[in-house]
Structure 1
Amino acid sequence: MQDLVNTLNGLVWSPALIYLCLGAGLFYSIVTRFVQVRHFGEMCRLLFSGKKSEKGISSFQALAVSLSGRVGTGNIAGVAAAIGFGGPGAVFWMWMVAFLGAATAYAESTLAQIYKEEDEGQYRGGPAYYIEKAMGQKWYAWIFAIATVLACGLLLPGVQSNSIGNAVETAFGAGTMIETGFGLISSAKLLTGTVLVVILGFIIFGGVKRISRFAEIVVPFMALGYIIVACVIVAMNIEQVPGIIALIVGDAFSPMAGVGAAIGWGVKRGVYSNEAGQGTGPHAAAAAEVDHPAQQGLVQSFSIYIDTLFVCSATAFMILITGMYNVHGAGEGVFLIQNMGADVAANSPAFTQAAIESMMPGVGKPFVALALFFFSFTTILAYYYIAETNVAYIRRTIKVPGAMFVLKVGIMAATLYGAVKTADLAWGLGDLGVGLMAWLNIIGILIIFFAVRPAMASLKDYEDQQKAGVSEYVFDPEKLGIKNADYWVKRLKRRQATAQNEMDVPGAVPSAD
């Protein structure tokens, strides 16, 4: 199984995908005139100015849901793996894919807002929806939807639960070994997996509102706590920071682990962590209640900075400052740098736990286990919501009785399976899922750009209204030549009808909506 997964990943994560991710980010950065820089202030303002409704969640809640998907095990174990297999220079390429990917995130999230729909009392949207409506290729949208259900419902949850299980085992011990159908498993991992499944079931059977409320509370708390610990460790070793930055930048272009390895692992783990271009973020973006699609595109662009430039950098600096890492060479058991035991897995939270433990004895291992629980658990919730949205997309055409229930049971089973399996297999399956989605989504948004350019039209319209100093933004897709944006057309007509009715009432003052 491991050999098959490795072979498939070799095909999916070929150099072509690495350069496609970087190239798409650079392309959208140029055509948007680096929207991720120009509108940084507007991103911050929009975070807290949004509203929610019975059908949609607020911009901040949508940010929290998408961050719950982005901020996960990739920020702890993923950064360790990038350094362990690609050298310190891989961190530089994680930064690059984040900076450029912020423009990609704007494009895909704006598209999700433009082409979203109302479904059973809530907003639905994402790549499958905008591929069908903007490209006019329903078959391609179906391929993405099916790939996403498989990736987010079965392949990716195991990566998150695996890291939680490994962190708990490292922090508190394996306990007794139990013979099961999965092989010999520690009681610590089995108990961890069981607890995860029970809590997961309680939340996902409550719907997207319960998921968003949970994420809104947990995500800011866990990210802030983790960054504070990282800042304390960096402050305790502040004199090393210039040297660490020089190491990261210098190794990005050196042959320590091969320039190709640094780029490959940096981009792979960068895309896995911040998900820019992968097509997961747009699902939460579509659920937001906003006045203009570009607003949520900007908010989601900002989430890339939080994920990689803040949280991933925090992990990288802790690992590199304390020297708690190995760099694997080309052969089995060959190390270019070996500061830890040869049996320490790079595809695990071990580097991060050891880094914090070395500076805060007795704290590091349990703290990382707790942080990983929150980071990874909220990511599993985000995966469920994404898979659910794509099942809903499929059900628009084919009614499958009990499809949502099967999905819930499937993701719970995948979570339990991942918690007790080896890290290499779990990460291999996760990389496969990420790669498939990234291929399909990035090609889709590039084709849409050259065909109809709706995200660019939306950005220009938003900037024009900004310059005009409007008190409330209005989005008119027909005026901009954007077709099939049915939700926004109906919304505009409702607002115009309401305004006209209020004008017809003597003494009435037109409402804002």
Structure 2
Amino acid sequence: MFDWFNDLVAALNGPIWGVGMLVLIVGSGLYFTVRLGFFQFVHFKDMWSRILDKNASDSGISSFASFCTTMAMRIGTGNVAGVAVAIFMGGPGALFWMILAGMTNSAVCFSECTLGSLYKTKIDGEYRGGGAYCAQRGLNWKAYGAFLAVILMIGTACFMPAAATFTICDGFKNAIGVPMWVSALIIAVVMLIVVFGGVKRISSVASMVVPFMTVIYLIAAVVIIILNITEVPALIKNVVTSAFGANAIFGGSIGIAIQQGVKRGTFSSASGMGEASPTAAAAETSHPVKQGMANAAGVWLDTVIVCTASGLMILLTDCFNTQFGYVGSGSSQMAALAAEGTNGVIFVQLAVQQVLGAIAPLFIAIMLALFSFTCLISYYYEAESAAMFLFQGEKKAKIRKIVTRTMQFGMPVLIFIWGNVESGLAWNLSDLALGSCTWINMLVVLALSPKVFAMYKDYERQMKAKIDPYYNPNKLSWKGVDVEMWNEINKSRIEAEK
């Protein structure tokens, strides 16, 4: 039924995810890493401490709530099924490039989230920001900002949810035989209930679910690693040699390993796409760089830690196949899966089954449901923020309410549909949304990079002076920054300077 549509989407993904994307993401990551003095290593401890800031207000959520809401988007489908797909498509070496991409992508995420916080403003009493706001307010690119908002709104509301929804449904089908449409219907209904509560309810759900699901999942990974600890040295060697196309047993080339590692690493963290900046802008923080730091730590947790955990579980138990003909022997089902061309979450379920036994598929299905559902609610907030940009102004307040209600009902309907399509179409749709948004958003991030470097310099100056960093727009500001808002946020500190 959807074959022609899948072929069209796959054809569009070809040039979007070609060599140009590798140059854009890897090049930008290295550029920001070098220009920011390798901040993700220099400020490693500080980066993680910014997550725990719990200051909130009527206008904004806390940095911790913002972090959890952002992680709700990051720690999801890409961390489980995405890693399995990367290994199937690119061999074990894809994991190496995924980890490396995570380290450099943290600098990209830092930059876009710092900018999102810097150029945020208030709409209907709440902080709103993101790539479109940066384009309009920071670069005076009004038409481009509107174009970016439209693409991001369509991408996050319509297409990005496809892979997450399909993966939840597929997980429960594999585990206990629940029909895909039943799981899709339940997800849609719960989604409707959550998004009707707005950003406060979304961040509240994320703050409760994200820490719990992450810890439980990592515990399962640690158990598997410990039980297979003697295999780790050989595994590391296999991953590294495969990363450079030197391990013939797994097939593939260095080009495919890099492409899949960077592609899935970028999908997992969404660095550069613009997904994280709306949530970063929603946070109550005294300095934009603080929120940039918190979000950069999120990329490490997501791609460097959780994705690595998934990869190690799959590889240590030998529960994986590759498109080049390698068939794992960790489970009796691997040969049948290879013959069918099946891959994805089933690899992780079989890997955990080696330790937890028959309950493993259900355990992973539940973890994946939590991971992917939090992705979905985060996607909704990002789409809503883009919609708010398109209909700014007091005269459009009624239009904003209508659009919001339409999205609150419309997105669950699409979620139900995506839960009943083929795996290939679901992933291709999500890749199309991610890739398109990344190309459009990164132009804004790179164009505003001098502002990122200036803000980071201001942050470092205060840190060296042993001052809790805060942003004074009267000393360091540019056209488009909401000076009045920032003066209000840091009122007491700015007045103390006088």
TM-score interval, smaller chain:
over 0.9
Q: 1:150 to 1:239 in 2, by over 3 A?
A: same
TM alignment of 1:410-429, pairs within 5 A: 410-429=410-429
Q: Runs in 1 of length 4+ with deviation above 6 angstroms?
A: 497-500
Match of 1:285 among 270, 280, 283: 280
Contact kept, 8 Å, 2:82 with 2:264, in 1: the verdict is yes
**1:433 paired residue number:** 433
Match of 1:264 among 259, 265, 270: 259
**1:327 paired residue number:** 322
Contact kept, 8 Å, 1:477 with 1:483, in 2: the verdict is no
DSSP 3-state at the match of 1:118? strand
Residue type of the partner of 2:441? Answer: N
Contact kept, 8 Å, 1:348 with 1:423, in 2: the verdict is no
Contact kept, 8 Å, 2:84 with 2:345, in 1: the verdict is yes
**1:368 paired residue number:** 364
TM alignment of 1:6-405, pairs within 5 A: 6-174=10-178, 188-254=179-245, 256-329=251-324, 335-337=325-327, 339=329, 340=334, 341=336, 342-343=338-339, 347-396=343-392, 399=396, 400=399, 402-405=402-405
**C-alpha displacement of 1:427:** 0.4
Q: Determine the C-alpha separation between the residues in 2 that align with 1:414 and 1:225.
A: 30
Match of 2:453 among 456, 461, 479: 456
Contact kept, 8 Å, 2:213 with 2:371, in 1: the verdict is yes
Q: Determine the C-alpha separation between the residues in 1 that align with 2:187 and 2:209.
A: 16
Residue type of the partner of 2:292? Answer: G
Q: Determine the C-alpha separation between the residues in 2 that align with 1:301 and 1:347.
A: 30
Contact kept, 8 Å, 2:318 with 2:328, in 1: the verdict is no
Q: 1:386 to 1:343 in 2, by over 3 A?
A: farther
**C-alpha displacement of 1:122:** 1.1
Q: Deviations over 1:264-316 (max 9, x none)?
A: 11111110001111110111110111111110000000000100111111110
Q: 1:33 to 1:358 in 2, by over 3 A?
A: same
Q: Deviations over 1:349-407 (max 9, x none)?
A: 11001111122211210011000110000000000000000000001169446111111
**1:484 paired residue number:** 480
Q: Determine the C-alpha separation between the residues in 1 that align with 2:413 and 2:374.
A: 17
Select the structure that is richer in helix. Answer: 2
What is the TM-score of this pair, normalised by structure 2? Answer: 0.93
Residue type of the partner of 2:320? Answer: Y
DSSP 3-state at the match of 2:283? coil
Q: Deviations over 1:24-81 (max 9, x none)?
A: 0000000001111111111222222341111111111111000000011110100000
DSSP 3-state at the match of 1:20? helix
Q: Deviations over 1:65-118 (max 9, x none)?
A: 000000111101000000000000000110111000111111000000100011
Contact kept, 8 Å, 1:105 with 1:300, in 2: the verdict is yes
Residue type of the partner of 1:162? Answer: F
**C-alpha displacement of 1:476:** 2.0
Contact kept, 8 Å, 1:87 with 1:262, in 2: the verdict is yes
Residue type of the partner of 1:492? Answer: N
TM alignment of 1:491-506, pairs within 5 A: 491-492=486-487
Contact kept, 8 Å, 1:478 with 1:489, in 2: the verdict is no
Q: Deviations over 1:181-206 (max 9, x none)?
A: xxxxxxx2111111111111111001
Q: 1:102 to 1:159 in 2, by over 3 A?
A: same
Q: Determine the C-alpha separation between the residues in 1 that align with 2:128 and 2:48.
A: 25
Contact kept, 8 Å, 1:58 with 1:288, in 2: the verdict is yes
Q: Determine the C-alpha separation between the residues in 2 that align with 1:378 and 1:491.
A: 30
Q: 1:35 to 1:68 in 2, by over 3 A?
A: same
- Any gaps of 5 or more consecutive residues in structure 1? 175-187, 330-334, 501-509
Contact kept, 8 Å, 2:245 with 2:253, in 1: the verdict is yes
Q: Determine the C-alpha separation between the residues in 2 that align with 1:97 and 1:233.
A: 25
Name which of structure 1's ranges 280-289 and 129-138 shifts more when overlaid on structure 2.
129-138
**C-alpha displacement of 1:121:** 1.7
Which structure has the larger Rg? 1
Contact kept, 8 Å, 1:347 with 1:424, in 2: the verdict is no
**1:180 paired residue number:** none
Q: Determine the C-alpha separation between the residues in 1 that align with 2:41 and 2:212.
A: 26
Residue type of the partner of 2:425? Answer: L
Contact kept, 8 Å, 1:79 with 1:91, in 2: the verdict is yes
- Any gaps of 5 or more consecutive residues in structure 2? none
Q: Determine the C-alpha separation between the residues in 2 that align with 1:476 and 1:427.
A: 44
**2:469 paired residue number:** 473
Name which of structure 1's ranges 341-350 and 48-57 shifts more when overlaid on structure 2.
341-350
**C-alpha displacement of 1:148:** 0.7
Q: Deviations over 1:237-271 (max 9, x none)?
A: 00011111111111100153111110111111110
Q: Determine the C-alpha separation between the residues in 1 that align with 2:485 and 2:73.
A: 31
Residue type of the partner of 2:53? Answer: S
Q: Determine the C-alpha separation between the residues in 1 that align with 2:202 and 2:177.
A: 31
Q: 1:495 to 1:2 in 2, by over 3 A?
A: closer
Identity across the alignment (%): 34
Report how many aligned residue pairs link the two structures: 479
Q: Determine the C-alpha separation between the residues in 2 that align with 1:411 and 1:263.
A: 33
Q: Determine the C-alpha separation between the residues in 2 that align with 1:82 and 1:151.
A: 22
Contact kept, 8 Å, 2:471 with 2:486, in 1: the verdict is no
**C-alpha displacement of 1:438:** 0.7
